[in-house]
């Protein structure tokens, strides 16, 4: 489902530079309005929102809550098939 990982430093960019978000969308064939951006920093979330992205703030220790919010936005279950310990050990 998530086939792309973009390391901003590999492209000489940093969040919250708009070019980073736009490149991520372009690589995945979507517009910013079709994207959901997750981050822990408000500054990065604000930059994504200014481009039209939906955002979810990931609080420290709140990965499962953020995934739950993402599932609701997307209307899909992202965790079925994982044992709780298997899933949380990867977060």
CATH code for the domain in which residue 50 is found: 3.40.50.1000
- The pair of structure tokens assigned to 76 is 């899909």
- pLDDT of 18 reads 96
Region 14-42: what's the mean pLDDT?
A: 95
CA dist 75 and 68 (Å) reads 10
* pLDDT beyond 60 at 76: yes
pLDDT of 36 over the 60 cut: yes
pTM for this prediction: 0.80
Q: Calculate mean pLDDT across residues 35-53.
A: 96
What is the mean predicted confidence (pLDDT) over 29-35?
Answer: 96
How does residue 3 score in pLDDT terms, banded at 50, 70 and 90?
confident
Q: What are the DSSP calls for 23-79, one per residue? A: HHHHHTT--GGG-EEEES-HHHHHHHHHTT-EEEE--TT-HHHHHHHHHHHHTS-SS
- Whether 2 is in a domain gets the answer no
Number of independent structural domains in the chain: 1
CA distances from 9 to 17, 46, 49, 69 (A): 12, 20, 21, 28
Whether 51 is in a domain gets the answer: yes
């Amino acid at each position: 489902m998530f086939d792309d990982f973009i390391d901003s430093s590999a492209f000489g960019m940093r969040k919250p530079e708009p070019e980073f978000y736009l490149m991520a969308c372009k690589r995945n064939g979507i517009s910013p309005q079709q994207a959901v951006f997750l981050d822990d920093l408000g500054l990065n979330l604000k930059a994504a929102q200014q481009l039209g992205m939906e955002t979810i703030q990931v609080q420290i220790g709140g990965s499962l809550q953020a995934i739950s919010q993402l599932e609701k936005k997307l209307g899909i279950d992202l965790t079925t098939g994982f044992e709780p310990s298997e899933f949380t050990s990867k977060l």
